[in-house]
Chain A
Amino acid sequence: MKNRKILLFGYGNHGKYIAKGLVEDGFKVQVIENNENFYNNALDEGFTDACKIDVTKDELLMALNPESYKQLVCVMDDEHLNVFLTLSLRSLFKKSYILSISDSIHTTKKLQMAGANMVIDLYEVSANKIHNILNRPVATQLLEEFVVHKNDIGFRELIIPPKSFLSGLMTDDIDLSEYGVLLVGLIDEERGHHFEFITTGINHKLDSGDTLVCIGKEEMLNNFVDLINKKEI
């Protein structure tokens, strides 16, 4: 990935964990806080370049040069400030990708109106989870393990390289299970740049440049990536 820089506003309840996770995945994270305690926590926990600024001041936000970052993530503990920050960032930087967290039912809509590209609603996610646990306990447990790559099984997205043996094939005719991976869905560039699940029943024609989302054992996924990168088989 070209740009792996993330501008993270907030090092409170959520920011702390998100920052650590991102660093583990090799992202470069710039932490911004306006709360003294959280700022000190960030310094103590290794984010030595963390900045403490008043996020309500536009000129200070401009100085951060947010446009050079891949994403702006707003996860401040104070939800009012979070909405305000999202709104300021959107009005200042039209093109940036802004992700915000919503800590209450009523905030989600406000954040969307403020211009966040993606809002993750704490309560919506949790409510879904309760429903899933009640109705499909085994599937829920397994899925979660897939997402965090426990059991060695995980999701992977891979782009079909030019002249791969896959290009030209139809999705109904290929069976990836013999390679130890399952095709969950894909982005078929012919049909527009959006993700579609394989179970929608559409028979896609694979071309180079299409993105496949697969699930499988880490090792099998690696083998499969090597395989499709070979020009011919």
Chain B
Amino acid sequence: MNQILLSIALFLRASIRYKSSKNFIRDILTNSNNPYKKYVDITIIFLIVTSIFILIYEVKHPVPKWLYIYDVYFVSFVFSIEYILRLWVYNNITESIIKEHKEAHFLGRKFTPMKVFKDGLLEKLKYIFTPSALIDLLAIFPAYRPLRVLRIFVLFRVLKLLRYTKSINQFTEVLSNKKFELLTLLFLLFFIVMTAGIAIYVLEEGFNQNINTLFDALYWALVTMSTVGYGDISPVTQEGRIISILVIISGIAMISFATSVIVSAFSEKLSELKENRIIEQVNKSKSFLLVCGYGQMSKMFFRQYGAEYDNYIILEISKERMEQARKDGYDAIHEDASRYETLSKFNTDHCDITVLCLTSSDVENIYITLNAKSISSNIKVIARANDFNMVSKFEHAGANHILMPNRVVNSMIHTAITKPTMYKAIHAILTGKSIARVDEIRAYECEIMIGKTIQYLEFKKAKLLFMGIQRGSTFMFNPSRNEVVQYGDILLVMGREISLKYFISLYNGVSE
């Protein structure tokens, strides 16, 4: 038996297909950063909503046979598959068995896979009894029509929706932070309801024709306490009325207490919830900017180009400046970009992330660079270096681009003094404004261009100045007219934006 378990475990571990499909399913079911998860979610939500709709419709109207089959068989089938998959990916028994085998081999003790196997199953059993798993399980059963009480199963399908609605999850999360207060409140409620219920039962049983059982008395106590007051049961004796007064007063106190607990829980968490929402939003996009620090540099950058960037987040460690950024109308969160937890919240697997380290401290910028690079080498980092001596350190840290404001501006001043006429030209080119953008055309984006020689490309027609080709790491300035454009080439041109757009439209095969 042991041998069979081990060989099955080894076989499954060796199978790449098994592993990759398990990982894929786990990711698609549980990782909210997976871009395909939303399709699974939408499908399930659709099934739930239609099934609820069918049941509501059925109350008054006959339902066609195919809808009945859809509801009872198809939806249940899909839900059971989902349930089984969730159970499957919850833990990894295979790994535990192999680990146990290795340990047993190493220590020379007896190999007991059954124990590990049982532990694994037990863990799965634990999962089965978690609230969300229970709801999933009960939601599989279609509402049993003939028996009215069993229609309650549709309720579990409604509850299943909760798994897919983030705000409800957040609501419970927020409330769970106030567990202690809420439990105290619940206990108090229980105590008062019991006391008042028993008192009214003892005092009015026999006098009040509406109170026949203890359940009636407890029901009255709760209805009165909650200030709902249906009025179907009301005290008739003097003593009973005194009890009522006490219950009503304590009811008002309880309600205001409960309200204040919930409100304070939310106000404490509100900013965090907001920030999480911003992060989630940006994680859904294909590429985005993380701007670290909202100082003069970032302010200027956003003032000039903010409108051109949709997907970005400003991370600012100082609360004051974060508020300032929000006031200026930008998405900012109060986080320390040099912390691992902060940057790892972002979806590094499925997005192109560019980090701009623009704080005024070089030490901070290097730290953020290292932090970003340690999380994923896919993250691009553009770092600001104030001190020229820091450049090699930034290079070591792995920054993709190093921006030296002082050096840039010094060279600009130098040009302005030495070549005043040209300064304007170079300034316009560098700032990329209007008529003199120097821009790059990527050959792979303009497929028609590939394989043609330079002389046949219509730069003149588009009023562009062709400057050269960047091929690999070498730049060919003003290459021969017979040079053939290759797939990876980047063509450097100068001209107006409209010229550039026109030229690209000539060669990208989209327009005529």
A binds B: yes
Near A by CB (< 8 A), chain B positions 417-460 give 417-419, 421-426, 428-432, 435-436, 438-440
A123–B296 CB distance below 8 A: yes
Smallest CB–CB gap between B166 and chain A, Å? 31
B436–A199 CB distance below 8 A: yes
A138–B470 CB distance below 8 A: yes
Q: With an 8 A cutoff between CB atoms, is A21 at the interface?
A: yes
- Residue in A75, A123, A181 whose CB lies within 8 Å of B300: A123
A130–B403 CB distance below 8 A: yes
Encode A116-160 as 1/0 by CB contact (under 8 A) with B.
Answer: 001011111111111111111111001100011001010101000
Residue numbers in A under 8 Å from B415 (CB-CB)? 147
Smallest CB–CB gap between B241 and chain A, Å? 72
Binds B, one of A60-68, A161-169, A208-216: A208-216
Q: Indicate whether A148 sits within 8 Å of B411 (C-beta atoms), given known contacts A138-B470, A211-B421.
A: yes
- Residue in B409, B435, B492 whose CB lies within 8 Å of A14: B409
Q: Could you tell me the distance between the alpha carbons of A43 and B439 in the complex, rounded to whole angstroms?
A: 44
B403–A134 CB distance below 8 A: no
Smallest CB–CB gap between A161 and chain B, Å? 17
Q: Could you tell me the distance between the alpha carbons of A128 and B475 in the complex, rounded to whole angstroms?
A: 23
B429–A143 CB distance below 8 A: yes
Encode A14-53 as 1/0 by CB contact (under 8 A) with B.
Answer: 1001100110010100000000000000000000000000
A27–B417 CB distance below 8 A: yes
A157–B408 CB distance below 8 A: no
B405–A147 CB distance below 8 A: no
Smallest CB–CB gap between B285 and chain A, Å? 15
Q: With an 8 A cutoff between CB atoms, is B406 at the interface?
A: yes
Smallest CB–CB gap between A48 and chain B, Å? 21
A18–B421 CB distance below 8 A: no
Binds B, one of A81-89, A99-107, A223-231: A99-107
Contacts between the two chains (Cβ within 8 Å), count: 180
Encode B455-475 as 1/0 by CB contact (under 8 A) with A.
Answer: 000000001110110100001
B410–A21 CB distance below 8 A: yes
Residue numbers in B under 8 Å from A197 (CB-CB)? 425, 428, 435-436, 494
Q: Could you tell me the distance between the alpha carbons of A25 and B300 in the complex, rounded to whole angstroms?
A: 32
- Residue in B289, B405, B477 whose CB lies within 8 Å of A153: B477
Q: Indicate whether A101 sits within 8 Å of B409 (C-beta atoms), given known contacts A123-B297, A127-B305.
A: yes
Residue numbers in A under 8 Å from B124 (CB-CB)? none
Residue numbers in B under 8 Å from A134 (CB-CB)? 289, 354, 382
Smallest CB–CB gap between B139 and chain A, Å? 47
Q: With an 8 A cutoff between CB atoms, is A201 at the interface?
A: yes
Residue numbers in A under 8 Å from B413 (CB-CB)? 14, 18, 73, 75, 99, 101, 120
B467–A120 CB distance below 8 A: no
Residue numbers in B under 8 Å from A180 (CB-CB)? 478
B430–A128 CB distance below 8 A: yes
Q: With an 8 A cutoff between CB atoms, is B486 at the interface?
A: no
Q: Could you tell me the distance between the alpha carbons of A212 and B80 in the complex, rounded to whole angstroms?
A: 77
Near B by CB (< 8 A), chain A positions 172-201 give 177, 180-185, 187, 195, 197-201
Of B401, B423, B439, B478, most A-chain CB atoms within 10 Å = B478
Smallest CB–CB gap between B501 and chain A, Å? 14
Return the chain A residue nearest B387 by Cβ. Answer: A13
Smallest CB–CB gap between B463 and chain A, Å? 5
Q: Could you tell me the distance between the alpha carbons of A119 and B418 in the complex, rounded to whole angstroms?
A: 15
Q: With an 8 A cutoff between CB atoms, is B499 at the interface?
A: yes
Q: Could you tell me the distance between the alpha carbons of A127 and B416 in the complex, rounded to whole angstroms?
A: 19
Q: Indicate whether A125 sits within 8 Å of B418 (C-beta atoms), given known contacts A182-B465, A195-B424.
A: no
Residue numbers in A under 8 Å from B296 (CB-CB)? 104-105, 123
Of B405, B415, B477, most A-chain CB atoms within 10 Å = B477
A-B contact pairs, 29 of them (CB 8 A): A6-B417, A17-B410, A18-B413, A21-B411, A22-B418, A73-B417, A99-B416, A123-B299, A126-B408, A126-B409, A127-B297, A130-B301, A131-B301, A131-B304, A132-B430, A135-B432, A136-B432, A136-B440, A139-B440, A142-B492, A151-B477, A155-B425, A177-B478, A184-B465, A185-B436, A198-B465, A199-B496, A201-B463, A213-B421
Lowest 8 A-B CB distances belong to which pairs? A123-B300, A199-B495, A127-B301, A127-B300, A126-B405, A128-B431, A139-B440, A17-B410
Interface residues of chain B, those whose CB is within 8 Å of chain A, are 289, 296-297, 299-301, 303-305, 308, 354, 356, 358, 382, 384, 401, 403, 405-419, 421-426, 428-432, 435-436, 438-440, 463-465, 467-468, 470, 475, 477-478, 490, 492, 494-496, 499
